[in-house]
Each structure stands twice: as structure tokens, then as C-alpha cells.
Amino acid sequence: MRRFTMALGLLVSAFAASAADMSRGADNFYKSDKVTQQKVTFKNQYQMNVVGNLYRPKEADKNARLPAIVVGHPMGAVKEQSASLYAQKLAEQGFVTLAIDLSFWGESEGKPGHLISPEIYSDDFSAAVDYLSTQSFVDPQRIGALGICGSGSFVISAAKIDPRMKAIATVSMYDMGSAFRNGLNHSVTVEQRKAMIASAAEQRLKEYQGAETAYIPGTVNKLDDSTPAIQREFFDFYRTERGGYTPQGEKEALTTKPMMSSIGKFMNFYPFNDIETISPRPMLFITGDKAHSKEFSEDAYKHAGEPKELYIVPNAGHVDLYDRTDLIPFAKLASFFKANLK
């Protein structure tokens, strides 16, 4: 365990974070009076129930079939954190939107909770397309997808094998495979990676033999003088009234924390392989100029086929684009989807 903790040290900063700064329009729990909200449930291909918040513009023609967008939450979060804000803002622009809980998180099915399973996460997006395609108020030929943070890599993985997603956007994207294999800025060595994998395998056996589930450090539960800046950034969202949310039946202290024994599944996740095959469907990568995760959007943009765009938000960090409405380029997202879902 000690080897694992030391090896994970450089990676921990990617999943933790700072103090309740409500500046620049922070509004994670935004409630729009221009849209309707409905909780919906549908099955993915693994016959697991996926739960989402469905939003529809109130002023839309009741007989019209509208374009739709699936929205995925940050890794370790739930639909009430960032995804529902984006979904409502886009629904105000005339889209049907669906903010989902990924399997093993929030209200969606999956035991044990917090299990890492990028293949199933990706299928959840396709399952959402299944659901939307069968709704009388959605045009099944005009469905797009948006992934925030880790969901950016899951939506790319899904879009590579699901051409029904006609336009794909990401915000503050994390390539969850690279983040676990290599750390930020490739700061994790191969030997450290092997130590993490070995510790995860050891923990898996212990849990099979009846030990309690162990979790990797997500967002820290308290700050001290040694807390790194990136961890403080996440703390300011996940551990304060700004964005903190504990799903029913969950323990607050465990929110954001994936199962340690399942990290190998991220080690084996390569969402950007063959990303160019998504072309000619358009892709938009949005990141902040100060985002610690910017390297992932830049990497995806480099390898993606045309048409593609890398949109840099000035003076924005990674978590800023979760909820700071003064910084989030909602107009850019709306224009992207309007131009490509027509």
C-alpha cells in the first residue's frame, strides 16, 4: 500500500482541489425557469439502469422534433455537478438535453459503487442516444454529445463507434487513460505505474477475500498547509457549497473517490486511438488557458480529423469551466451544436 501511495502522489493532484470562491458567476446549482425537467431511466447495453435529468425548452413547438445533446459529468462527480448546469443552459437555446449519471455513480445502477469501467461509461452515452432516438420530440438524426472533464474521454470513446453522435464537444477534458498511466505532464514513470497496478491487483484479491473496499484519493476532505494547488482547486468545488453534492445513500467523505482495485481499467483505456475516424463529424475541444488539464484537449485536437476546433478560454482554469458562468462559453457551444445538428 505504501508503494501505491507514493506512486500515486503525482496523480492525486488530478483528482482533488481549493475554498468556496463564488466569483465569476459560479452557479453549479442553477435552476432555469425556461426549461422543464424530468428524471428519466433507461438501460444501457449491459442491462443496467442509467438515470438522467431530461430538459426541454418550454417555448418549443410541442409538435416539433428537436435536436438533442447528451451531457456527461466530470469523473467522480454526478449529473448534479456541472452536467445539469450545461444541460439547462443548452436547453434554453432550443435543444433537448439529457444530463446522465454514469454507471456506478449517482443514481445509475452498478455494484460496487465507484467502480472504474470506461467501456461501460462510454456505452452509457450510446444508451442515452438510444433513449433520445425513441422520443417523439427528438430528431434522431440530430443528436450530439458533450463530455466534461473525464466524460470528455468517454464521449470520444463512444463516438468512435457510434455514428449517431453527429457532433462532439468536450470541456476541460481529461484523458482518463493517460492521466492514470502517465500523470499530468507525463510525470509518472513506468515503474511508478507498475507499482500502482501491482497494488491495485493486491487490493482486488483482498476484497475478494472479504476486506473492505479501498478507494484512491479523489478530492481531499480537508485542507492543510501541504495541500497542492490543484487539490485546492477541486476542493473549492467538491467540498464546499459551491459544488458539493452527496447522492442519497452515499457517504460524503467518499464522493469523488474511485475504487482502488479497479484503476487498471483506466491504465488500459486509450480513447484517442483512432480519434481521426470520427471525422467528418465535427469536434470542438474547449479548455482554459490556465487549465492544468489543457494538455489533453491539445493532444486530442492534434490527432483528431477535420473539422475540428480547439477553443481556449482566457483566464480560466480546469474547474472554472465546471460552473463559472461568466467564463463558460455557452454561446460557443450553442452555435457549434446549432451549426452541426441541422
Q: What are the pLDDT digits (tens) for 189-199?
A: 999 999 999 99
Confidence of residue 9 (pLDDT cuts 50, 70, 90): very low
| Average pLDDT score, the chain | 95
- Which residue is associated with the grid cell 450545461? 86
Residue ranges making up the domain that contains 285: 2-340
- Which residue is associated with the grid cell 476484497? 207
State the pLDDT at residue 253. Answer: 94
Helix (H, G, I), strand (E, B) or coil at 164: coil
Which region holds residue 249: left if phi is over 0, alpha if psi is between -120 and 50, else beta?
A: left
Burial class (CB in 10 A: 0-12, 13-18, 19+), 283: buried
Query: Which pairing describes strands 49-57 and 66-72: parallel, antiparallel, or unpaired?
Result: unpaired
- The alpha-carbon radius of gyration of the chain (Å, integer) is 19
Cβ proximity of 174 and 150 under 8 Å: yes
Confidence of residue 66 (pLDDT cuts 50, 70, 90): very high
117-157: pLDDT as tens digits: 999 999 999 999 999 999 999 999 999 999 999 999 999 99
CA distance 253 to 271: 30
Confidence of residue 219 (pLDDT cuts 50, 70, 90): very high
Q: Which amino acid is at 44?
A: N
CA distance 193 to 195: 5
Cβ proximity of 147 and 173 under 8 Å: yes
Confidence of residue 13 (pLDDT cuts 50, 70, 90): very low
Please state whether the peptide bond connecting residue 140 to the residue before it is cis, i.e. omega within 30 degrees of 0.
Answer: no
* pLDDT more than 70, % of the chain: 94
162-175: pLDDT as tens digits: 999 999 999 999 99
pTM of the predicted structure, to 2 decimals: 0.94
Tell me the DSSP string of 10-45: HHHGGG-------TTTB-TT---SSEEEEEEEEE-T
263-291: pLDDT as tens digits: 999 999 999 999 999 999 999 999 999 99
Neighbours of 280 (CB within 10 A): 7
Tell me the torsion sign for CA atoms 315, 320, 321, 325. Answer: negative
CA-based nearest residue to 96, from 154, 33, 159, 145: 145
For residue 55, give Cα distances in angstroms to 34, 43, 67, 123: 10, 19, 12, 21
Tell me the torsion sign for CA atoms 33, 38, 43, 48. Answer: positive
For residue 10, give Cα distances in angstroms to 4, 155, 205, 225: 11, 26, 25, 17
Helix (H, G, I), strand (E, B) or coil at 216: coil
From the centroid of its chain, how far is CA 169? 12
230-261: pLDDT as tens digits: 999 999 999 999 999 999 999 999 999 999 99
Give the number of domains in the chain: 1
Residues in a beta bridge with 43: 49
Tell me the torsion sign for CA atoms 8, 323, 36, 162. Answer: negative
CA distance 43 to 296: 30
State the CATH number of the domain containing residue 67: 3.40.50.1820
pLDDT > 50? residue 6:
no
pLDDT > 80? residue 12:
no
CA distance 241 to 2: 33
